[in-house]
């Protein structure tokens, strides 16, 4: 029994990573109605930028904030330059665009910083949290920061004019234009915010998985899975989804024999899909009624 509880707790700590990533995924989904495969790479690149700044002697929190701002701007720039021209193209073409973006960012990161693993610092220290062997202070800090972002997003969407406008643009774009909202800019903003949140995810995840260009792929998949599990329309669901995915992953690894690291991913995905077959809109998503 103790092993079980331990695994659950361990799952929650790794789950914090997925929760963070899932928030960024939901953010982008709210803005553009699809998932961006290149988001993980953008987060990775942002993390490398922050690392580079720290190599040059910039203190952690300054690098953190500057990276956040730069990522926001970069997200907007990428959307305006690369994806606005594709706005009228079919969705599948846009997906091909995401794949192209992934390829470009991954390759550039590899060239600039090479593929050797680097240590990435954490501002929270890595001693046991409240004496627990399972959650370190870093993981507690990560969970705390994720929850803070969630709260921030909640207030933004519920109580600000910009948040209301973004929700409107995402839900009924034509009506949004008819009240004077520039829906095209709302998409750009959505990308900017997603890039910023993604950069936070990257900077929180790097201390755990170590910094290298391929660090985000697994995390991104789990992040997608978590977002989908939670219901793509619900930031709250994304965070819960993240924790659940972390727990699933850990339990699968511990209790199903013969499953090494490589099979954990597909099995976790299979479990999530099973949930989706039962609850197609995810745990907290709004059930979608389709009209002809």
Partner 1 sequence: MTAMLNVKDLRAYYGQVQALHGLNFSLNEGSLTTLLGANGAGKTTTLRAICNMVRSTGAIEFEGRPLSGRSTENIVRLGIAHVPQGRGTFTAMTVEENLQLGAISRRDGAAIVSDIERMYEHFPVLKQRHTQQAGTLSGGEQQMLAVARALMLRPRLMLLDEPSFGLAPLIVRDLFKILGKINREEKVTILVVEQNAQLALELADQAYVIETGRIVMSGGAKEIANNEDVRKSYLGY
Partner 2 sequence: MSAAEEVVTEGQAIEAVPKRAMTMGTGTSLAVLILLIVVPLFVKNFIIFQMTMLLIYGVAVLALNILTGGSGQFSLGQSAFYAIGAYTSAILIEQYNVNYALTLPIAGLLCFAAGFLFGLPALRLSGVYLALATFALATAMPQLLKLGFFEHWTGGVQGLVVDKPDAPFGLPMSQDMWLYYFTLVITIAVYVGSVNLLRSRSGRAFMAIRDNEIAASSMGVNVALYKTLAFGVSAGITGIAGGLGAIAVQFVAPDSYTIQLAISLFLGMVVGGVGWLPGSFIGSAFIIFVPNIAEGISKGLSGAVFGVLLFLVIFLMPHGARQIAIVGQQLAARFRR
Residue number, 180 or 257, with CB nearest to partner 1: 180
x/- site string to partner 1, residues 180 to 209, per CB under 8 A?
Answer: xxxx--------------------------
Binding-site member from 89, 117, 151, 179 for partner 2 (CB under 8 A): 89
Give which of 230, 223, 267, 273 is closest to 19, Cα–Cα.
Answer: 223
Q: How far apart are the first and last CA of the chain?
A: 51
Residue number, 7 or 30, with CB nearest to partner 1: 30
User: Is 177 an interacting residue with respect to partner 1 (CB under 8 A)?
Assistant: yes
Q: What is the DSSP string of 82-150?
A: IISTTTTS-HHHHHHHHHHHHHHHHHHHHHHH-SS-B----TT--SEETTEEEEEHHHHHHHHHHHHHH
Q: List beta partners, residue 185.
A: none
Query: Binding segment for partner 2 among 53-61, 70-78, 193-201, 223-231 (CB under 8 A)?
Result: 223-231
Pair of tokens at residue 63 = 């690098």
**CB environment 263-272: b (16+ within 10 A), e (fewer):** ebbeebbebb
172 binds, options partner 2, partner 1, none, Cβ within 5 to 8 A by partner type: partner 1
Tell me 81's DSSP state.
I
Residue number, 16 or 176, with CB nearest to partner 1: 176
Residue number, 132 or 160, with CB nearest to partner 1: 160
Give which of 167, 168, 164 is closest to 178, Cα–Cα.
Answer: 168
Residue ranges binding partner 2 (CB under 8 A): 34-35, 82, 85-86, 88-93, 95-97, 99-104, 106-108, 110-111, 171, 221, 224-225, 228, 232-234, 236-237, 258, 260, 262-263, 265-267, 269-270, 272-273, 276-277, 280, 284, 286-292
Residue ranges binding partner 1 (CB under 8 A): 161, 164-165, 167-168, 171-172, 174-183, 286
């Amino acid at each position: 029994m103790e092993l079980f509880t331990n695994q659950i707790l361990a799952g929650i700590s790794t789950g914090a990573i997925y929760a963070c990533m899932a928030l960024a995924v939901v953010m982008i989904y709210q803005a553009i109605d699809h998932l961006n495969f290149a988001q993980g790479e953008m987060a990775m690149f942002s993390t490398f930028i922050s690392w580079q700044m720290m190599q040059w002697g910039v203190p952690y929190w300054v690098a953190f904030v500057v990276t956040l701002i730069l990522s926001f701007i970069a997200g907007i720039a990428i959307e305006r330059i690369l994806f606005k021209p594709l706005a009228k193209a079919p969705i599948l073409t846009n997906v091909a665009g995401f794949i192209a973006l992934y390829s470009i960012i991954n390759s550039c990161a590899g060239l600039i910083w090479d593929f050797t693993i680097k240590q990435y610092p954490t501002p929270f220290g890595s001693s046991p949290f409240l004496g627990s062997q399972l959650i370190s202070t870093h993981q507690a800090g990560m969970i705390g920061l994720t929850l803070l972002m969630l709260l921030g997003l909640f207030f933004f969407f519920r109580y600000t004019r910009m948040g209301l406008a973004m929700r409107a643009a995402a839900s009924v774009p034509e009506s949004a234009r008819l009240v004077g909202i520039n829906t095209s800019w709302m998409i750009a903003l959505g990308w900017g915010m997603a890039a910023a949140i993604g950069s936070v995810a990257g900077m929180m995840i790097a201390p755990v998985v170590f910094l290298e260009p391929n660090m985000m792929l697994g995390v991104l998949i789990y992040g997608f899975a978590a977002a989908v599990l939670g219901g793509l329309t619900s930031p709250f669901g994304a965070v819960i989804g993240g924790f659940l995915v972390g727990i699933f992953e850990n339990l699968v690894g511990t209790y199903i024999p013969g499953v090494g690291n490589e099979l954990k991913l597909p099995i976790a995905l299979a479990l999530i899909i099973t949930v989706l077959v039962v609850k197609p809109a995810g745990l907290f998503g709004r059930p979608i009624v389709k009209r002809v």
